[in-house]
Amino acid sequence: MPAFTFEKITPPVRRAPAAATPKKPRGLISQMIERFAERRARRASQAERAMRRDDKAAK
C-alpha cells in the first residue's frame, strides 16, 4: 500500500468572456504623435515612388 496518493486536480472552468470594457479615449499627445507618424509615412512612400520613377526613366 502506498504511503501517499495524488489528488486529481481538474483545470479551472472557462467562463464566458467578460463584457468588453470600453476603450479609453486616446490622449491628445498620442493623437498628435499618430498624425505626425502618418504624415511621415505618407511622405516616405511618395519619395520612394518618385525614386522608382526616376530609376525607370534613367534606364
Q: What is the pLDDT of residue 39?
A: 94
CA angle 52, 58, 59 (to 5 degrees): 95
* pLDDT band with cut points at 50, 70 and 90 for residue 43: very high
pLDDT given for residue 1 in this prediction: 58
Question: Alpha carbon of 37 to those of 33, 43, 57: distances in Å?
Answer: 6, 10, 30
Per-domain boundaries in the chain: 27-59
Tell me the H-state helices in 1-59. Answer: 28-58
**Is the dihedral angle over the CA atoms 27, 28, 31, 33 positive or is it negative?**
negative
pLDDT tens for each residue of 25-36: 778 898 999 999
Rank 2-6, 8-12, 18-22, 38-42 by mean pLDDT and report only the highest.
38-42
